[in-house]
Amino acid sequence: MLEKIFDAVRNKLNSYFEQREDLIKESRYILRLSREAIQMTHKGNYIRAYELIIKAKNLVKKLGNEKIRDPRLRFSGFWLDITKEFAEAFFLYVFVSNIVRGENLSVPDPRELGILEEAWVLGLCEAAGELKREMLILAGKNDFRNAKRLLEVTREIYGLVSSLVLPNAVIPGLKSKIDYLRSILISSEELLLRLEKEYDLIQKLS
């Protein structure tokens, strides 16, 4: 009585498992591209960073259109994590390019990136941590003007994300990300203030 239905269920589950394993393998390349793009952005190698980001973007869209037919794959935790890191790399590149390089790049929306809104928001949160690192790089060059402009971006991100009142079922870990953003903002403000005062004191003494 159950065998025929059970065989059909088993075949479906096996097919889902194979699709999932295949997608995980291909997704790891997106992760590597995104992480390298972040490193290249911090190093000031913007041409290479852009090349890596575009490669990652094309792969995200390709997998999203061709490989993710089962909704369980699109809404699974691993795909959210992959696309979140991709969004983080894209945001960092855009923010740094606009401020440090004086460009006028638009911030891409979720549809343009080919990702879910949840990944877009989480990627924005993660980008704040990388912005702090970039602020330190700029402060090390005594470029406090641009460091402060990145601080303003961080402040804007925190203001927007903290206005979201959504449960974890909608955006996993949102509350912890808001707390993380707040700590990044406070520590960045304190650090830049201290470093700028130290620089001004050295200038006066010299």
Q: In CATH, what number is assigned to the domain containing residue 23?
A: 1.20.58.2140
* Alpha carbons 96 and 41: distance in angstroms, whole number: 8
In a domain, 55, yes or no: yes
In a domain, 2, yes or no: no
* Alpha carbons 94 and 84: distance in angstroms, whole number: 15
Q: What is the pLDDT of residues 62-75, one digit of tens each?
A: 887 766 777 777 77
Number of domains in the chain: 1
Q: For residue 117, give both structure tokens.
A: 């809104």
Which domain does 80 fall in, by range?
A: 10-205
* Alpha carbons 139 and 188: distance in angstroms, whole number: 11
- Average pLDDT, stretch 80-94? 95
Cβ density class 11-31: b for 16+ within 10 Å, e for less: eeeeeeeebbeebeeebeebb
In a domain, 118, yes or no: yes
- Taking the alpha carbons at both ends of the chain, their separation in whole angstroms is 90
In a domain, 3, yes or no: no
In a domain, 23, yes or no: yes
Q: What is the pLDDT of residues 9-18, one digit of tens each?
A: 999 889 888 8
In a domain, 54, yes or no: yes
- Average pLDDT, stretch 78-99? 94
The four Cα atoms 99, 102, 103, 106 give a dihedral, to 10 degrees, of: 30
Q: For residue 149, give both structure tokens.
A: 């402009």
In this prediction, residue 22 has a pLDDT band, given cuts at 50, 70 and 90, of confident
- Does pTM top 0.95 for this prediction? no
